[in-house]
Structure 1
């Protein structure tokens, strides 16, 4: 995770949610965003 930029992490998270990937993977991404104090300002529709 440390190799992903903040922007890339957010994009990967949004894509994972859109594709309904494994909830454990999505939770891992979410935890990393929280660790970095990142917030999603726009939710994909």
Structure 2
């Protein structure tokens, strides 16, 4: 996961949710977002 840029991680997370991919995969992405202290909701809102 460390090889993904923050931007690519966020894009991957949103795509995984949009396409209803495996719950465990989404949970893994969400955990990495949390580890990096990134909030996908704030990115979505443009904060």
TM-score, normalised on structure 1? 0.90
> Which residue matches 2:32?
32
Give the unaligned 5+ runs of structure 2: none
> Which residue matches 2:23?
23
Structure with the higher fraction of residues in helix conformation: 2
Residue correspondences, number: 43
TM-score, normalised on structure 2? 0.86
Give the unaligned 5+ runs of structure 1: none
